[in-house]
Structure 1
């Protein structure tokens, strides 16, 4: 039974990253017409509605302190993460943002060790170094000019940091006995509530007709129902089954999926440095999972 749960966790983590790595296409199309805040509010509103229907209503928290944790999870994993990442893109290049945000597994591991008392083996840190080298090669391949700003870099680090907080909170709430879909629905509810603040300040500049265009509607539905509702639920389930440290290692593969999907969909060329970076990033993912595999083997004896 445990082996089935571990396999399920890995499959869910891989599936989630596969979808998240392709969302850049939809976001790129939508950014021609909509602002980042408009896209975020719409995708999470759609995701929240879908999860609310699937959950058959708003789940009640078992304890009052859990209510605070749900709010913190929504604030960190939805509102702050996406706002920081998108604002960082206005200060520094997308390549640098991708590299910085890919450090999220390190922050997740540190928070898990501090708050959940999870042990970190040497293979995790070896995998981190290997994967970051690969992510850097993939992200910087073909980039002739890098736009750097201390504020942009700080926002990128902040996004990676709050994702670590989110992962630990999800692990704790999952262990408290909450089902994945209602848990994710509650997190989305708080995240959407906090997102309404910047949405109110910025407004919705896109005209009503833009929302009903088939291309825009299709991409918004993909982001809202697929990348948000479905993938946050699968990611949260993977975190519960594998733990935040092992699940977060799959983030290393996100730039790889992005670069391969760009080659397939946009017909961009894969350079030798990209192939090398892909191999290093995937190697880092395997190394990071090695400590967890050793623990499983010991538990069988």
Structure 2
């Protein structure tokens, strides 16, 4: 039952994070990437603090692991994600972010967090082929933008590192709300130098417009707070590599949401790409009877 719950939580996290790309694209017309990042995680931190208003001090070694997780999963991943979305198409970014499981696997296997297994690599190849086909069949909303693509790739590497670092935290059996809040705290802390690089002059009145307010509330409530809770719990239940396989679904969900929200089209190659990616997820998830995650 625990493993089924882990898969459900991983899927729900990826579903809401995928919808995030469209919401961020809308809000970036009114806020800069840095302004959005700071605001969404400050409000996300407040939400989690209200859920569990307790401060916990830990040994320096454990605090360092939280700091690394905050740097990779909040600061690097989200900042470069927002910058990439500003530079290129939301669907384009989602496709590149879908390479994150590769980096998770590389980090996890290299550090001995999990053992390599054949189906992961078979599933990975299928997913990458599916994502490439999807990029050609996703309609006009997908194109090539070198600068935006590099920013998205840095974001994906950051997420791969976060996904491995979080395993050490979850294995310590910390309260998941407090642990997630602490990660967000360090993420915000590492973003402070950004105030010397980026402007921070949010137009508060713009956020009161109904469409902007709804999208901002969605970003704070799910991607910035609850999704991290679900993702961290899923990692504990089924491991970093299996959890990250669901990231391959990101471009599929993003394109479907974009089709509904902003009337994007999906052609034959797009549908083929979806099928290949889904097959890759299923194969990559299966280890066989003799393989169990650490």
Offset at 1:203?
A: 2.6
| Residues 153, 30 of structure 1: alpha-carbon distance in 2 compared, 3 angstrom cutoff | closer
- Of 51, 54, 58, the residue aligned with 2:51 is 54
- Of 257, 267, 290, the residue aligned with 1:271 is 267
| Residues 148, 226 of structure 1: alpha-carbon distance in 2 compared, 3 angstrom cutoff | closer
1:252 correspondence with 2:242: no
* Corresponding residue for residue 281 of structure 2: 285
| Residues 90, 49 of structure 1: alpha-carbon distance in 2 compared, 3 angstrom cutoff | closer
Whether contact under 8 Å (1:76, 1:166) holds in the other structure is yes
Whether contact under 8 Å (1:52, 1:58) holds in the other structure is no
* Corresponding residue for residue 6 of structure 2: 9
What TM-score, normalized by structure 2, do the two folds share? 0.91
For structure 2, the 5+ residue unaligned runs are: none
Offset at 1:85?
A: 2.7
Number of residues paired by the alignment? 292
* Corresponding residue for residue 172 of structure 1: 168
Determine helix, strand or coil for the equivalent of 1:32: coil
Whether contact under 8 Å (1:71, 1:191) holds in the other structure is yes
Q: Which runs of 4+ in 1 moved over 6 A?
A: none
**Separation of aligned partners in 2, 1:155 and 1:217:** 27
* Corresponding residue for residue 112 of structure 1: 108
* Corresponding residue for residue 26 of structure 1: 23
- More moved, 193-202 vs 238-247: 193-202
* Corresponding residue for residue 40 of structure 2: 43
| Residues 155, 26 of structure 1: alpha-carbon distance in 2 compared, 3 angstrom cutoff | closer
* Corresponding residue for residue 217 of structure 2: 221
**Separation of aligned partners in 2, 1:145 and 1:5:** 38
Offset at 1:205?
A: 3.1
**Separation of aligned partners in 2, 1:135 and 1:44:** 30
| CA deviation vs aligned residue, 1:262-285 (integer Å, no higher than 9, x gap) | 222333322111110110111110
For structure 1, the 5+ residue unaligned runs are: none
Determine helix, strand or coil for the equivalent of 1:205: coil
| CA deviation vs aligned residue, 1:248-271 (integer Å, no higher than 9, x gap) | 000000111111122223333221
Determine helix, strand or coil for the equivalent of 1:21: helix
* Corresponding residue for residue 68 of structure 2: 72
Task: Provide the alpha-carbon RMSD of the alignment.
Answer: 2.2
* Corresponding residue for residue 185 of structure 1: 181
Offset at 1:184?
A: 0.4
**Separation of aligned partners in 2, 1:145 and 1:67:** 40
- More moved, 69-78 vs 219-228: 219-228
Offset at 1:218?
A: 1.9
Whether contact under 8 Å (1:38, 1:199) holds in the other structure is no
What TM-score, normalized by structure 1, do the two folds share? 0.89
| Residues 18, 88 of structure 1: alpha-carbon distance in 2 compared, 3 angstrom cutoff | closer
